[in-house]
Structure formats: structure tokens, C-alpha cells
Amino acid sequence: MGDGANDRGAGLTSFRRYTWLTVPGTAGCVQLLFVGEWILDEDVEVWARGPAAVALVVAVLASVVLLGRRLALLPVAGTRPGRLPMGWLIAACAAGAVLAVCPLAVRNYGLWAVAPAMVVAIVATYLAPSSRRPLIACAVVLASLPGAVVSLVAGDGKLLYATLFPPGLVAFTVWVMLGPLWAWDTARRLDDARRLEAEVAVKDERLRFAADLHDIQGHHLQVIALKSELAARLVEVDPGRAAAEMKEVRRLAADALGDTRAVVQGYRRTSLDDEITNATRVLAAAEIDARMTVEPATAVTELAEPARHLLGLVMRETTTNVLRHSSARHAEVDCRVTGGLARLRVSNDGADEHPPGTNGTGLGTLRERLQAAGGELTWDRDGERFVVEAALPVKPGNTGNGAAS
């Protein structure tokens, strides 16, 4: 039970204690009770009792150690848990042989198979199921032979009992040992799966937060940089407009701070209508002629909130990419609902030689989120024209978890 501390907090401490008492505890107690009672019987000859007593101590100790170590292992389904400690296995086999020979020599057909059955059960716990079954089958068959031979030679009329009881004892012992151990292994695997699921959930949440933070900060900072550059150019030729641009920079910085706080608190949701409005203003400030088409006119407001959120992220990312990665003079935004799908198409005529990549938290991440929501996101570059197209089901039931992340 040396690694019991690892199970604290996982709901397995009590179950591990119960399994330890059931498997190693039962193995030791059964041998002590049945073989020990026979050793203490004064009718048993001294020459058999002495070696049997020493072998009993070794057998109990080896059984407890071997099964205790087996409990600390977690086998992958269909594979063997690990290598047997050979020193303890040899000690258990030697003790089992002595505890089989001594009772069998005095024709005790019900006792001689106890220790060997324990050895077979212990070895079986360390084997994969494919190797375990042949071992158990062979052990059950062979267990009928020693008692049958001794009974035939002695002619004591106990042939049926001597032949059938030991195989039944072996099968029962293996079943008693493997049952609780199988339950323990299953519980361990389920608990590990639960822990892994929790870790994956935490990582997914971190990725979601990183993506949202990138969407907010990247967009705001790009616009702030653009307006600051514009103000720097205007400061000498048109101080009034330069001051107005710097006021806009200040407002954008305050918005970025507020949006960042909202993301940290988990309240902020990007929406398509807000992002289309924002894109119109930002692209105009960058002297990019932007044409916005929404059909029907109520298409955006009638979309389910998760779809508006995801398409809003696409709109924000593409607007940021136009400012950051292109020298566009014209841009087109087309949003329409057709065939049960909300389609968003954003294009510009100033794509550079290296359009925005698909790695990190940009279009590649958005593609994964739209696919998880039952939609798709594609982009294509044809000469200087770069086109991003997104599609999502209109019905809320089809937006999945990805849309809500």
C-alpha cells in the first residue's frame, strides 16, 4: 500500500484499501487459516509439520508482497502489467511445492492444492489476458493428476474427490483473486481518464482565452498603430485632425482595456453586427474603400447568438489581416443567409506575397472552431486578391460547442 498517497483526493483511497484487504489480505489469511490449522493438528506427523510451517511463513509473505506490488501497477487494456519480481516468485513456488508435497504425502487431498493455487493466481495477475487463459486452463487440468495418482496408489477409495476437488479449488482461487483486481484496474483507468479529461478541459480553456485575447488585442493594437501613424503624418499639416486622431487612439486604448477585462471576467462576446460596423469605420480610417452588403437586411440580427459570435470573430480577424498584411485600396464584405446557412465573404485587392498563415490563433484556429460548430472557413489568394469565406448553420442546434467557446 506504499503508493496509497497518490490516490488521495481521487476517491480511490477507500477502494484501494478494500482491494488490498481482498486480494493480498485474502491470499495470506486463507493460507494461514487452512494450512496453519493442519500444521497445528497433533495427529499430523512431525516430519511434515516442521517443513510445512517454514514454507507457510514464506508462502504468506511472498503472496502479500507479490500481490501488493501488482496493485501498484496499472496495465493498459490487453497488455501485461509488468515483470514479476523473480526472487519473490521463486520463493513462492518453492514454498508452494513444500505445502503441496507434505499434505499430499499424508493423503490430504483437499489441502495440498491451496498454496499452488495461490501461486497460479498470483502469476495470472501479472499476465495479459491472452497469456493468462492458457495458464489457468493448464493449471486446472494438471491439478487433477497428483491427487488421482496418490489415491490410485494408496487404493483408499477417494479417487473422485482427489481428482475433482483440486481443479475446482484452483479455478475458484484464481476467480477470487482476479475479480477484485480487475475492478481495481478498471477504477484506476477510469480515474486516470477523468484526470486527463480535466487537464484537457483546462488546456482547451487556456487556448480559448488565448484566442479571444489575440482577437481583441491584435485588432485594437493594429488600429491604434494605424491611427498613431496617421496622426504623426498630420501633426504638421493638419494639427486639428491629428488631435482628433489621437483622441480616437485614446478611446481605442480604453476600449481595448475594457474588452481585455471583460475577457478575463468571461463576459465579453463578439457579435457580427458590431464587427461589421467597426470594420466600416476602421477601414475608412485607413483610406480603404469598403463596401458592405447584408442580405436580407435583418440577416445578422436574426442569427443565433453563437453563430453571430463566431462570424464576428471571423470579421474581426479578416479586418485585422487587411490592415496588417495588405496594401488594399478596396475591400468587400458580403453577408447573406441562403439555404439554411449564414455566409460571410470578405475580400480585398491588396494581398501581399505572403498571406496570413494558418497557424497560431488566426484563421487556422477559427477554421477549427467553425468546423466544430458544423460550419467551414476557407481562404484563397488569386494574384493580389485575397478572399475569406465562412459558413455556419442558421439553426442554433447546429452550432455545437465550438460556437460557444
Domains and their CATH numbers in the chain = 4-198 (no CATH), 202-404 (3.30.565.10)
Q: Which three cell numbers stand for residue 71?
A: 496493485
3-state SS class at 12 = coil
Task: Give the N- to C-terminal CA distance of the chain in Å, as an integer.
Answer: 43
Range name among 27-31, 122-126, 283-287 with the lowest pLDDT average: 283-287
Range name among 16-30, 233-247, 261-275 with the lowest pLDDT average: 261-275
Model pLDDT, residue 75: 61
What would the mean pLDDT of 65-70 be, rounded to a whole number?
89
Model pLDDT, residue 57: 93
- The pLDDT confidence band at residue 168, using thresholds 50, 70 and 90, is very high
What would the mean pLDDT of 353-365 be, rounded to a whole number?
59
Q: Smallest Cα–Cα separation from 400: which of 377, 368, 373?
A: 373
Give the span between the Cα atoms of 8 and 195, in whole angstroms: 13
pTM, 2 dp: 0.51
What would the mean pLDDT of 222-244 be, rounded to a whole number?
83
Q: Quick one: residue 107, left, alpha or beta (phi over 0 = left, psi -120 to 50 = alpha)?
A: left
- Cβ neighbors of 390 (< 8 A, separation 6 or more) are 310, 311, 314, 343, 344, 345, 366, 370, 375, 376, 377, 378
- Cβ neighbors of 49 (< 8 A, separation 6 or more) are 39, 102
Model pLDDT, residue 218: 73
What would the mean pLDDT of 224-250 be, rounded to a whole number?
83
Task: Return mean pLDDT, the chain.
Answer: 81
Q: Smallest Cα–Cα separation from 355: which of 329, 388, 396?
A: 388
3-state SS class at 22 = helix
Model pLDDT, residue 175: 92
3 or 118, greater pLDDT: 118
Q: What is the pLDDT of residues 174-195, one digit of tens each?
A: 998 888 888 888 888 887 787 7
Model pLDDT, residue 400: 39
Give the span between the Cα atoms of 72 and 3, in whole angstroms: 7
Task: Verify cis geometry, omega within 30 degrees of 0, for the bond prior to 166.
Answer: no
Amino acid letter for position 223? V
Model pLDDT, residue 312: 87
Task: Answer yes or no: are the C-beta atoms of 292 and 280 closer than 8 Å.
Answer: yes
H helical segments located in 41-158: 46-71, 86-105, 114-125, 129-142, 144-154
300 or 288, greater pLDDT: 288
Range name among 36-45, 118-127, 155-164, 347-356 with the lowest pLDDT average: 347-356
Q: What percentage of residues in the chain have a pLDDT greater than 70? A: 84
What would the mean pLDDT of 198-217 be, rounded to a whole number?
70
What would the mean pLDDT of 326-338 be, rounded to a whole number?
85
Q: What percentage of residues in the chain have a pLDDT greater than 90? A: 21
Give, for 280, the enclosing helix (H) or strand (E).
helix 272-285
- The pLDDT confidence band at residue 264, using thresholds 50, 70 and 90, is low
Range name among 213-227, 240-254, 279-293 with the lowest pLDDT average: 213-227
Model pLDDT, residue 74: 66
What DSSP state is assigned to residue 326?
Answer: B
Q: Using the predicted structure, report yes or no on whether residue 202 has a pLDDT greater than 80.
A: no
Model pLDDT, residue 127: 86
What would the mean pLDDT of 251-276 be, rounded to a whole number?
72
Q: Using the predicted structure, report yes or no on whether residue 6 has a pLDDT greater than 60.
A: no
Q: Which three cell numbers stand for residue 332?
A: 468587400
Model pLDDT, residue 401: 41
What would the mean pLDDT of 304-317 be, rounded to a whole number?
85
Model pLDDT, residue 82: 62
